[in-house]
Amino acid sequence: MSPEIEKAFASLPPEEREAIIKYGTAMRISALRERLDLAESKIRAMQEKYRTTPSDLEAQGLPDDSGMEMHEDYVLWRHWAEVADRVRRDMKSLEAISRYGLSVGELTGAGC
């Protein structure tokens, strides 16, 4: 964050800083949930297509007769698995703030 933004944020009254943090956290968690849903749907599609999991495939390696499509799918599969892991970590890091939560009335204005 730039020093100018930090200075402007610090100049706000405490209740405004708290509101911004609460709303920002709620909106960020909402966006992360959407990203996680997308990543998990991509992972499920690959698991159904190849009838295996990324960890099993990594342990066994790609079959000797796998074609270009499977290699490309594997790269995408790993990408989405990494996205899902990263999003879960990000969501977990926001849990402490989100425990303070917003009331139902406040959530309506937070885009959730």
Q: Is residue 8 part of a domain?
A: no
Position 110 pLDDT exceeds 60: no
Q: Does 7 fall in a domain?
A: no
Is residue 44 situated within a structural domain? yes
> Is the residue at 55 inside a domain?
yes
Please give the pLDDT value at position 56. 86
Question: Does the CA dihedral 55-56-62-66 come out positive or negative?
Answer: negative
Confidence of residue 101 (pLDDT cuts 50, 70, 90): low
pLDDT at 107 over 60: no
Quick check: is 5 in a domain?
no
Q: How far apart are the first and last CA of the chain?
A: 25
User: Does 71 map to a domain?
Assistant: yes
**44 phi and psi, to 5 degrees?**
-60, -40
Residue 39 is part of which domain span?
13-108
How many structural domains comprise the chain? 1
In a domain, 4, yes or no: no
37 within domain boundaries: yes
